[in-house]
Structure 1
Amino acid sequence: MKTFLRAGALALALSAATAPAVLAQAAPPPAPTGADTLFKATTLNLSAYGETRVAPDMATITLGVMTEGKTAAEAMQANAARMAAVMASLRKAGIADRDIQTSNLNLNPQYRYQENQPPLLVGYQASNNVSVTVHDLKRLGAAVDASVSAGANQVNGIAFGLDDPTAAENAAREAAVKALAAKADLYARATGHRISRLVSLSEGGGYTPQPPMPMELFAMAAQAKDAGTSISGGELKVRIDISGLYELTR
């Protein structure tokens, strides 16, 4: 009798221990999340760009005056007098005050070096540079000529640009979207799919002002002496980069 009771108790204990495991196995799997659903979809991630070329309508030129003197005051006074003449010539050439901005002002001692001798101070060198924005490119050559004639002896570079790049950027955007759609259609057909929808679209790039181009002062001065400085703006390239995620279906 005792043996029977022990066996029955053991059977009940085993049944109770295994019941939760059976219930856990029977529980339904969790519903898929949005990320799981998106992962199961066939998608196409592509990038493309659009580009347009336009003529510049403005330019920025950096020019200046460098002078020397036996003392710092002498160098600075000579520089100030010559720069005042350069500024007056720019205004006379039709450049507004708001378009002339000081970009660099330096005063440096000048030394003579000899072997086995301490450096010998021989004077000072002063330099003053201004950035000049020209909104009418027809005035650009005349402005350069006038500044050189007035005493400018440094021309560091010229950069062409656009006063308002919006129209050029929008044209590049349209070209980029067309290129992206054509590329997506090609990939879809090549893999036996069709485009279901555009899931996302992102943009990068855009109009970037052109970096200054170096200019040789003496070559420009020689041209100015003969027939006036001739400067050509050429064309600017405006590029828009985009990326798109497409969902595909059979």
Structure 2
Amino acid sequence: MLRKALGLLIVTFILASAAGVYAAEPETASFTIKVQSSGDVRVTPDMAQMWIGVQTDAETASEALAENNRIVGRLTEIFVQYTRPEVVKTSEFNLYRRERWDSETQRSVPDGFTIRHVFEVAVFDLEKVAQLMDDITAAGANIIYGLQYGLQEPSTARAEAYANAVAKAKEQAQALAEAAGGTTPVLEKLEETYYYGPVYAAEGGAGVSENATAFMPGQLKVSVSIEATFRSQLTVDN
């Protein structure tokens, strides 16, 4: 009987001790931290894009077309000297009849035909852009617009922008966690909220140097924005 009572006493003591240990380790509260950050990278462009073409006017459609084809033939020969044929494509071809106002009859009357033929052209050697402009102008091109610079492969710059954005997000989360008395935050969720990585756009546009056909492409800016969610634990003192 005494031995049984002693055994019950030992079991009770062990359970009480375990309960005391458990009570001595209170659960620590956790909280989430949400931050938004952005990352930018500036890179040198490695390609240019522009629209080049010719507009011809004549009394008849066939005359306008013949003259247009003559100049376009010269332009296409020049294009292949500066870039790959597969990156030259027609972006616009229009034939329309012109009209003018006849003050005597007080109505519009036919006044010939106009043809516009415009090509979208990409060039990958930026040092050749100025000479290309000179050559196509001499060949008869009278439509030139939209000179823009870009990247053939923006993924490397985009990855660097991501890295910058994530690093900033971690710094912000760490500062907030410390201010709240929390532990080092752990990343739980990450989302991209914005990306700007132009393939054909130079920041600030293309500048022109002292020479009329010498261009300065400047640099491109690749930007990303992210939203990150972290979790931190309150320290015992808090």
1:206, distance to aligned residue in structure 2 (A): 4.6
1:207 maps to 197
Matched, 1:71 2:60: yes
2:69 maps to 80
1:86, distance to aligned residue in structure 2 (A): 1.3
Q: Percent identity?
A: 26
Provide the C-alpha distance between the structure 1 equivalents of 2:94 and 2:201, rounded to a whole number of angstroms. 23
1:100 maps to 88
RMSD: 2.4
Gaps of 5+ in 1: 1-39
Give the direction of change, closer, same or farther, for the CA distance of 1:96–1:196 in structure 2 (3 Å limit).
Answer: closer
Contact 2:173/2:185, CA 8 A, preserved across alignment: no
Provide the C-alpha distance between the structure 2 equivalents of 1:214 and 1:105, rounded to a whole number of angstroms. 27
Provide the C-alpha distance between the structure 2 equivalents of 1:104 and 1:149, rounded to a whole number of angstroms. 21
Matched, 1:126 2:110: no
- Select 1:55's aligned residue among 44, 47, 58: 44
Which stretches of structure 1, 4 residues or more, deviate above 6 A after TM superposition? 212-215
Deviations 1:19-73 (A, max 9, x none): xxxxxxxxxxxxxxxxxxxxx9521111111111010011111111000011112
Matched, 1:171 2:150: no
Provide the C-alpha distance between the structure 1 equivalents of 2:41 and 2:205, rounded to a whole number of angstroms. 25
Matched, 1:181 2:170: yes
- Residue 94 of structure 2 aligns with an amino acid whose one-letter code is N
- Larger fraction in helix: 1
Gaps of 5+ in 2: 1-28
2:22 maps to none
Contact 2:169/2:228, CA 8 A, preserved across alignment: yes
1:209, distance to aligned residue in structure 2 (A): 2.3
Q: Look up the SS of the partner of 1:49 in the other structure.
A: strand
Deviations 1:149-174 (A, max 9, x none): 10100112111111111221111111
Provide the C-alpha distance between the structure 2 equivalents of 1:182 and 1:44, rounded to a whole number of angstroms. 12
Q: TM-score, normalised by structure 2?
A: 0.78
Q: TM-score, normalised by structure 1?
A: 0.74
1:191 maps to 180
Provide the C-alpha distance between the structure 2 equivalents of 1:98 and 1:209, rounded to a whole number of angstroms. 17
